[in-house]
Amino acid sequence: MLSILYVCKNKISMAKDTYKKFPAPKLELDYSGKTPPFSEELEETVLGQLMLEDDAISKVLDDVSSDTFYNKKHQIIFAAIAKINARLEPVNIQTVIEELRRQEQLDIVGGAYTIAQLSQKVSSAAHIEHHAKLLAQKFIQRELIRVSAQIQEKAFDPAIDVDELVDFSESEVFKVAEGNIKKAAAPISMVLDRALETIKNAQNNQNKYSGKPSGFTALDGLTSGWQKGNMIVIAARPAMGKTAFVLSMLRNMAIDFNLPVAMFSLEMSNEQLVNRMIVSEAELDHYKIKNGQLTENDWKNIYDKTKRLATAPIFLDDTPALSIMEFRAKCRRLREKHKIECVFLDYLQLMTTSNPASREQEVSMISRQIKAVAMELEIPIIALSQLNRSVEMRGGNKRPQLSDLRESGAIEQDADLVLFIHRPEYYKIEVTEDGEPTKGLAEIIIAKNRHGAVDDVRLEFIPELTKFTDRNYIPPLNENLLPEGTNMDNFFETQTFGSKMNQSSTLETPKFDTTIETDIPY
């Protein structure tokens, strides 16, 4: 009798050790007492189909990962299949068994017999995409249950900040909707196809820019456009034209390229921004608009030229003292509702955080969060920044440097590109080092470019129009400046000139030799 009890005791002990080492899947309960949604049969079907055909896994990788499976053993089996596929080896019963044996996990999943049984339960890999989507749907349901439980727990915590709670809730639910919930590290083979597809799309892109074009030819040629997920910092001293530069860029992207864009202005109201855009679009001196000295023809010109602004996909937000949490939430909504392709922020140092520490730490946190939002939404975010006064005290050409970025070195570290706006004319410098007159000259200095070269780009700045353009800009002819009695029907004739691109470009020029004087220095 004692020997029998002893044997039973050992068996029970061994069973406990086995359970501790290889615990069975635990069905976690939600607050309603229901088990999370999952299907044992569906998981087995997908795994069995993956081992029947070599290319089956390529059909489901967009929808399925190890975490998609609820059963822990099934997670291990799928991970082994993914590793075999990453080595470009055939996926079948034997290779999966050998991979699990090599990783010392074959006994954990139930041995070779279990793997063989999975394949015997299915006859073909037909409809595997449909089965994978059903599996992914159940995973999303489980994740929504998990996220809602976390939100509920945080909502009961009196110490948590409400803005932080709302940001956490939106962020987690957004991740579920986008299918980006804690994805496991992907083998390079999975990423390689997407990278090659991106290169192929860039090759087929007619404008030859892989990113979103700014509308400035030389700048786009150097950067290939603003890339998704990038944080671009544009910095300058006051009066250099930071806001005018981004408004010109915003206008180019929205009107010329029909890209939905958004601008958050913490320094100027929406009305002030639109007034600047009217001045730029209508090609009228801003003093005339500011002082109300507009003729009937001026009003006609404004209405005609601003029709495109009214229909452009531009979204403006002038919330003062915008917090980084509010910024993230608003960007998510704009991305989801209006499919925005680029965000402008004017300017970074005016943003706030819910738990400010030192000013340097606060700016560092804001900078990191802006970069995180750009990567999360996969859009470029262009943030304006101030420079410190060391530029003014510096001798020589007073060109800004990365060390001049104000209040935090984190801005330089987080940014993918750092651009400075430098107008030598502002500092009474009449010619550049290569002898070019500085009147109307704006140098865009690319001081940091994580993905390319650093260089300078020269643009034209027209202060009366608060507008940046490409160099050698020819403004449209203003009828108000023509001699009285001019017959516009016979005023233009077509004449062709050689362009810098060795192509013919057509311009309309007056028939008669008349000097048109204007108070706008182009």
Residue 320 to residue 318: CA distance in whole angstroms: 6
Q: 478-484 contacts: CB < 8 A, separation 24 or more?
A: 478/283, 478/301, 478/518, 479/297, 479/301, 480/295, 480/297, 480/298, 480/301, 481/516, 481/517, 481/518, 482/516, 483/514
Best CA proximity match to 273, nearest among 83, 14, 281, 367: 281
Which tokens sit at 232?
């671009």
Residue of 267, 412, 425, 460 with catalytic role = 267
Which tokens sit at 19?
């359970």
**DSSP 3-state helix, strand, coil percentages of the chain (rounded to 5)?**
50, 15, 40
Tokens 């639109």 -> residue: 274
SS3 at position 234:
strand
Bridge partner list, 444: 421, 457
Best CA proximity match to 306, nearest among 337, 338, 283, 330: 283
Residue 305, Cβ neighbours under 10 Å: how many? 16
Whether the Cβ atoms of residue 422 and residue 382 lie closer than 8 Å to each other: no
Residue 14 to residue 479: CA distance in whole angstroms: 96
- Which H or E run includes 311? helix 307-311
Q: Which amino acid is at 412?
A: E
Whether the Cβ atoms of residue 445 and residue 420 lie closer than 8 Å to each other: yes
Any catalytic annotation for residue 267?
A: yes
Active site residues: 267
